[in-house]
Structure 1
Amino acid sequence: MRAGRLLSILMLLQARGGMTARQLAEELGVSLRTVYRDVEALSEAGVPVYADRGPAGGYRLVDGYRTRLTGMTSDEAESLFLTGMPGPAAELGLGGVLAGAERKLMAALPAELRERAGRVRERFHLDPTGWFRAADEVPHLAAVAGAVWEQREVEIRYERWKRPREVVRRVRPLGIVLKAGAWYLLALTGGEVRTYRVSKVLTAHVLDERFERPPGFDLAAAWSAWAARFEAGVLVGEAELRISPRGLMMLGFHFGERIAAAAQANAGPPDADGWVRTVIPTENINVAHHDMLRLGEDAEVLGPPELRERMAATARAYAARYLADRSVPAGP
C-alpha cells in the first residue's frame, strides 16, 4: 500500500508541477501526517523533492527530474490500453499521436506488464457507436478540436432544426464530447455555454483571436448538466398505457432505461392477463404516436385523447389496407 502511495505522490508532483500537503492528502485520501512521512521517505530514497514556503508554496520536484513508469501494477497497465479508441482518435486527427504514445508506453513497461497489456488489446475492443447506425460524418472535427486545444475562437456555419436552418456563430470552444457515436462541441457564445453537434457544422474557420477559459470550468459536469436539461426539455408529455408483460420488458430496448424505469415506478397491479396500467414520459404527439406503434399489439394507449385517437386512426388505416381483398384471378 505505502509503495503505491509513494509512487502516486511522485506521479502527482511530476504531472502537476507542485501540490500542497493538504492537496496531496485530499487526493490520496490520507492524513496530513501521512503525507509528511511519505514525502520524507521519498527524499530519503533519493527523489529530489523540496518544499516551497509561503501561501503559494507546496512540494515540488527539482526542475528536469523525471521518473520512468517502473512502479505500474499489472492492473493499471491493462486498464490503460482499454482507454484506447483508435477510431475516435483518428477523427480528432490524433491517430498517429496515439499510436506513438502507446509505442513509447509499451517500451517503458517491464516485459511482464508489456505482455499483459498486449493481451488486453488482443482480447478487448471498445466501439462507441450505437447499434443500427453509422458514426457521424465530421469533416470539421479536427479543426474544432485544434481550436479547443489552442483556445482560439472559431466562426462556424451551423445547420439547426428550426428556421433559419443555417446560422453563423462565433464561438469560444471549451471542449468536445463523444456520445453514442456522435460528437458534440461545448462552446461559449453570447455569454453562455451552448452545445453544437459537430456533424451539423457546415464550415469552420479558426480565427487568430485567443480567449481565456472560464475559471473552474468542468467539461464533464457541464456536459452532464446539459444532457439532463436536454432530456427534461424533450420529454415534456405523458402517455397512459395498458401494457403487456412483454411490452413492459421491451420498453428499455425501444426507448431507454429512463422511460422503462418510469413505467415500472408508475405501474399499477396486474390484471388477470398480467397487463398493467402505467404512465411514461413522451415527446410531442407526433413522436409519441410513432413510438407507440413500435409496441404493436403489446400496448393500448389510454390517453391523452389526441394520442389515442391518432392510434385508432392508424389502426383503422391498417385494417383497411391489410384486410382488403387483394386476390387476383389466376391466369389461364
Structure 2
Amino acid sequence: MSAGRLLSMLLLLQSRGRMSASGLADELGVSLRTAYRDLARLQDAGVPVYAEPGPGGGYQLVDGYRTRLTGMSEGEARALFFAGLPGPAADLGLAAEVTAARLKLLAALPTGPREEAARTAAVFHLDAPGWYREPEQTPYLPLFVDAVLTQRAVDVLYRRWRAPQEVRRRLRPYGLVLKSGTWYLVAATENRIATYRVAQVLDAVLSDERFDRPRDFSLGTYWTSYLDDFQSRRHTGTATIRLSPRGRRRLPDNVPPEVARAVDATETPVGEDGWVQAVIPTESTGHACGELLRLGIDVEVVAPPELRQAMAETAGILARAYGSAGTAP
C-alpha cells in the first residue's frame, strides 16, 4: 500500500468533490480494483468518504471535511512556485492574488521546504513573448477570466484574417491558453468550439446568459487536437531542397521547428562538397519562397517547379535592384 497514493486520493476528493472510482483510478494510474481497495482503507482510517449511487454518482467527502497541507516535499514546494510566475498572472489580472497566495504558502510550509521554495522563486523568471516581438495588448483578458470562471457568455467584436474581417459573435468561454506569449480563448458558439486570439478582440461585453461547460470537455486535450489539426491544414505541400553545410547549420534559426525536423528525418548527402538534400513541408509557394530566401545562397530548391521559379524570379528582381545605379547617399 502506498501512503502517498492514499494522500493523493484524499486531496483529489477534497479539491474536486465527487469523483467516480474509475476517475480516481485514471488520475492515480492504478487499476479499478486498487482504487476500490484504497477507498476502503481511507474509510477504515476514519476519513469520512461516502458513496453516492446512481447516474452521476461517485465518492466524496462529507461536507466541511478538510485535511491540512502536510507532508510536502522540497521538490513539491519548489514546483508549486512555477504555477504562479508573475507574467501570466499579471496578464490575467491576478498578480496581487498570486503574490498573496505565495506568501501564505511560504508561511504554512515547514522550514526546509519554505527555504527551498524561496530559493526557487528568487532564481526563475518567465518572459513569455519571443524575441523580436512586442507583447500583445489584451485589454479584455481579465473579462474573459471572469467569464470562464462564472460561465457567462460574452458578446465580442472580433477581427479575423479573412473577409469580412470584423465579425460579431456570442461566445461561451471554456478556457484560456498561453502559447509562446500569445493568449488564446477557447469558446463555443452556436454550432462549434473554436479558438480566438485574445489580442484580436476589438470589443467585449459580458452578457446575462449563463451556460454549462460540458463535464467531459478537457482544455488540454482540445488544445493538443487543435494544434495537430492546425499543422495538418497549414502544410499542404512539400518541396525538395539542397542545403550547403553553412545552410544546414543556420536552418534551425531561420525556419519553423517542423521544417528543421523534416530535414533531420530526410536529409541525404549529395556530392562531396557537404551539401545535403531533403524534403520539407510547405504552406504555399509564396510563404515557402520567403522562408527559404532567408538562407540566401546556402539553399537551392530542386522541386516543385513553381517554387523554384518563384525563387529565381525573386533573385532576379533583387539582382536588378542592386545591380542598377542607386541613389547617392
Taking structure 1 as the reference length, what is the TM-score of the superposition? 0.89
Instruction: Report the residue type matching 2:145 in the other structure.
Output: A
Aligned pairs (5 A) from 1:1-332: 2-31=2-31, 34-35=34-35, 38-39=38-39, 42-43=42-43, 45=45, 47-52=46-51, 54-55=53-54, 58-324=58-324
Change over 3 Å in CA distance of 1:23–1:143 after alignment to 2 = closer
Offset, 1:289: 1.6
Offset, 1:146: 1.2
Gaps of 5+ in 1: none
SS at match of 1:131: coil
- Per-residue deviation, residues 5-25 of structure 1 (Å, max 9, x unmatched): 232122122112244545434
- Per-residue deviation, residues 103-157 of structure 1 (Å, max 9, x unmatched): 2222221121111000001112222221221221111111122111111111111
Mapped contact 1:153–1:173 kept (Cα < 8 A): yes
Mapped contact 1:92–1:141 kept (Cα < 8 A): yes
C-alpha distance in 2 between matches for 1:172 and 1:96: 27
Mapped contact 1:49–1:59 kept (Cα < 8 A): no
Offset, 1:275: 0.9
- Per-residue deviation, residues 48-103 of structure 1 (Å, max 9, x unmatched): 32333644665433321212211111111101112222111111111122122222
SS at match of 1:175: strand
* Amino-acid identity (%): 49
C-alpha distance in 2 between matches for 1:50 and 1:318: 75
Change over 3 Å in CA distance of 1:257–1:326 after alignment to 2 = closer
Mapped contact 2:286–2:310 kept (Cα < 8 A): no
Gaps of 5+ in 2: none
C-alpha distance in 1 between matches for 2:205 and 2:50: 46
Change over 3 Å in CA distance of 1:275–1:142 after alignment to 2 = same
Change over 3 Å in CA distance of 1:143–1:295 after alignment to 2 = same
C-alpha distance in 1 between matches for 2:312 and 2:150: 57
C-alpha distance in 2 between matches for 1:57 and 1:229: 35
Mapped contact 1:239–1:303 kept (Cα < 8 A): yes
Instruction: Report the residue type matching 1:127 in the other structure.
Output: D
Instruction: Report the residue type matching 2:156 in the other structure.
Output: I
Query: 84-93 or 243-252: which moved more?
Result: 243-252
SS at match of 1:295: helix
Instruction: Report the residue type matching 1:277 in the other structure.
Output: Q
CA RMSD of aligned residues (A): 2.4
Offset, 1:169: 1.1
Change over 3 Å in CA distance of 1:53–1:178 after alignment to 2 = closer
Q: How many residues align?
A: 327
C-alpha distance in 1 between matches for 2:23 and 2:171: 34
Change over 3 Å in CA distance of 1:53–1:182 after alignment to 2 = closer
Instruction: Report the residue type matching 2:163 in the other structure.
Output: R
C-alpha distance in 2 between matches for 1:262 and 1:21: 43
C-alpha distance in 1 between matches for 2:326 and 2:90: 54
Mapped contact 2:156–2:201 kept (Cα < 8 A): yes
Instruction: Report the residue type matching 2:292 in the other structure.
Output: M
Mapped contact 1:78–1:116 kept (Cα < 8 A): yes
Query: 85-94 or 237-246: which moved more?
Result: 237-246
SS at match of 1:164: coil
Change over 3 Å in CA distance of 1:323–1:209 after alignment to 2 = same
C-alpha distance in 1 between matches for 2:309 and 2:36: 72
Mapped contact 1:148–1:173 kept (Cα < 8 A): yes
C-alpha distance in 2 between matches for 1:229 and 1:98: 34
Change over 3 Å in CA distance of 1:15–1:319 after alignment to 2 = same
C-alpha distance in 1 between matches for 2:165 and 2:36: 60
